[in-house]
Structure 1
Amino acid sequence: MPTYTFVVNGKPVTVDAPADLALLWVLRDKLGVRGPKFGCGIGVCRACTSHLNGAEIQPCVTPVAECAGQSVTTIEGLASGDDLHPVQEAWLEQDVAQCGYCQPGQIMAAAALLRTKKEISDEDIDRIANVCRCGTYFRIRQAIKSAAAKT
């Protein structure tokens, strides 16, 4: 079985896995990283959203082979030590979460957006296609705008 070395949340890891194994299963089953959630397995619901070298990805459809030598960040690695990322702070301030299942993916998608764009519009936020079954979209929108004002 091939071996892949990459960085997860700032720590180097090496895993034995088939090249086409979804990164989500490597993270959850081999490395014990539980933040990215399994929702649909086809990259549509985006509950698993994480970052690869700072760019948004869906680990449920990203083969582990694509991550070799790269840097993966999940919700567990978004904060800087005890200092929450501005999006995480805004989520708490706006009381966004209800069931919380989609929240790691929502936060990671918002953080990726704010990394590339400081001035955001409602249209920018609408392009975040993560699914929230509880329907907290209004609070999600408010939290993203609040985080944008802090960055």
Structure 2
Amino acid sequence: MVVALGSNLRGHYRSNRDLLEAALRRLPDVGLDVTRRSRWWRSAAWPDRAHPDYLNGVALVETSLPPREVLDALLRVEMAFGRRRGAANDPRTLDLDLIAYGRAILEEPGLALPHPRAHQRLFVVGPLADVAPDWIHPELGATAAELAAAAVIGADAVPLGEP
């Protein structure tokens, strides 16, 4: 399973990196065991570059929870880190997205798998290519590395150091 993490507001943490590291540590508490994680990637806010820059990454996760329960768990973690939902693409302390759940293809209210726009976003597929370059998109048949090479949204995203 693939979970994307992002932040452009640090909340009460010293930095966005500290907040995201704490969020990663919280995932096992809700039944999501992180097996690998990417480097953090920095990019300008999208679509409004006037907002603070984002720090993003991807975690590969194992769980026995079904997809809807995974999504609910991610939303609970977001709320615990001060996420308040406003307008789409508003700045946020923590954004957790379920990108893929195995090879599942699913469309139901509030949950689409694989994530319908992740393949267009370098700040998602770049980190995914860090940890699983040969991961294959369930619908498109392209690898994470191929998707990263073709991504047009967040094309300014760059990796920062080691995980």
Q: Compare relative contact order (CA 8 Å, sep 6+) and give the higher one, 1 or 2.
A: 2
Q: More helix per residue: 1 or 2?
A: 1
* Higher strand proportion (structure 1 or 2): 2
Whether these two folds match at TM > 0.5 is: no
* TM-score, with structure 1 as normaliser: 0.30
Q: Is the radius of gyration larger for structure 1 or structure 2?
A: 1
